[in-house]
Amino acid sequence: MNTAAEIQAAARERAFAMPLEQIDPSDPELFLDDTVGHYFARLRRDDPVHHTPGGRFGPYWSITTYRDIMAVDTNHKVFSSDWTNGGISILERPMTERLQMFIAMDPPKHDVQRLAVSPIVAPANLANMEAVIRERTCRVLDDLPRGETFDWVGRVSIELTTMMLATLFDFPFEERRLLTWWSDIATTNPDVDTSRVASWEARQAELVKMAQYFTRLWNERVNAPPKTDLISMLAHGPSTRNMPPEEFLGNLVLLIVGGNDTTRNSMTGGLLALARHPEEWAKLRANPALVESMVSEIIRWQTPLAHMRRTAVADVDVGGRTIRKGDKVVMWYLSGNRDETAIDQPERFVIDRARPRQHLSFGFGIHRCVGNRLAELQLRIMWEEILARFPVIEVLDEPVRVKSNFVRGYAKLPVRIPA
């Protein structure tokens, strides 16, 4: 049995010895054991705009530096997100199975659909939500066991983010774990992970159930006066009320995954980061006002979505390499967030960085995360309330990670709060 440190050291050696042309950072195994960072470090040094000729996900370019990722992300005219061109993830699916969601649309359609949902997570509305988020967070934390081992992912991260989603959708509260289930289904690739569904057909069948459930909610809300939940906003919004069923399904998946996996894994990742950097935990206890900058650092350090994909719609130069029209281009946010030319000591978790907000986890340009301030609010409240209760939370073992090159997340993290 190798220790975690030995696994990392061996992976680093392998990553730096391997011929460049063999490097394929999309291999889900590299995310399961969290060794992909060594391959990114090699690429940033030796081949920052890297072409992988084939493999499980077909030929694609890897963009690995902060600067080049910024350049691609802000050039949406050349780098298309549109589902008809391939969408926003490295995975290729047949045209009929591609999700029609606004993150996977180019302007002008993207703009009108995004603007329809954006008010729910705008600053004025967040101020109204803060009290209810805090009240629920307190309840979840107060109910945690003392002096016994429990799973932080299930008891805290999933519970808090699922309650938030149920609130945003005004979803039947007792059935809220359906949202977690559908989010996990939507990001599952049954070719590499069969723990949830065994096939693409089974996955599709679950998403159809989700669509049916939400269609019922839509029909209730469209016949009622407009309210401030997301479904009511979509059902009454001039630019969304006539959405075809495929777009309704796609945008639901976007909002469920966007508001779920990302914050969930940052809630777990922050605890793991502090456990591995006890000096930072001491700093935080001495100065709880650092929670705000720590939240940005958690989101950088975790990078809950490892990549976003684009498709070039014209020949274009990136970092001295020529990318051809039609090529698949993967921006590895996880790599850009560890780029030493943009971020000082990027491997370290430092809760009082000079410019903590300058990270790539939310993306940049017109597809930038619409719920970024809500995510930060949830994380801030969670840490404020943890600090008010628990001097120590012990992380007892390495986390179990999710086998995915898209969602960088955790299935389990065993912890104990001393009695």
Largest distance between two CA atoms of the chain: 64
With a CB cutoff of 8 Å and minimum separation 6, the contacts of 26 are 52, 55, 56, 57, 60, 90, 330, 405
| Per-residue interface string for the shown chain with other proteins, residues 82-121, x marking contact by CB under 8 A | -----------------------------x--xx--xx-x
Closest to other proteins by CB, 88 vs 197, is 88
Structure tokens at 70: 């910024």
Amino acid symbol at 397: D
Closest distance of CB 148 from other proteins, Å: 40
Q: What are the backbone dihedrals phi and psi of residue 292, each rounded to the nearest 5 degrees, phi first?
A: -60, -50
Closest to other proteins by CB, 119 vs 172, is 119
| Per-residue interface string for the shown chain with other proteins, residues 65-84, x marking contact by CB under 8 A | -----x--xx----------
Nearest residue to 229 (alpha-carbon basis) of 123, 132, 121, 124: 121
Closest distance of CB 319 from other proteins, Å: 16
Amino acid symbol at 40: F
**Can you name the residues that pair with 329 across neighbouring β-strands?**
61, 310
CB 332 within 8 A of CB 63: yes
Structure tokens at 42: 């090699």
How many residues bind other proteins (CB under 8 A)? The answer is 24
Question: Which region, judged by CB under 8 A, interacts with other proteins, from 156-164, 309-317, 358-366, 407-415?
Answer: 358-366
CB 40 within 8 A of CB 25: yes
Q: Does 127 bind other proteins (CB under 8 A)?
A: yes
- Chosen residue from 325, 358, 388, 418 binding other proteins by CB under 8 A: 358
Closest distance of CB 122 from other proteins, Å: 4
CB 176 within 8 A of CB 158: no
- Chosen residue from 213, 373, 384, 400 binding other proteins by CB under 8 A: 373
Question: Which region, judged by CB under 8 A, interacts with other proteins, from 45-53, 139-147, 306-314, 368-376?
Answer: 368-376
Residues near other proteins (CB under 8 A) are: 70, 73-74, 111, 114-115, 118-119, 121-124, 126-127, 355, 357-358, 362, 364-366, 368, 372-373
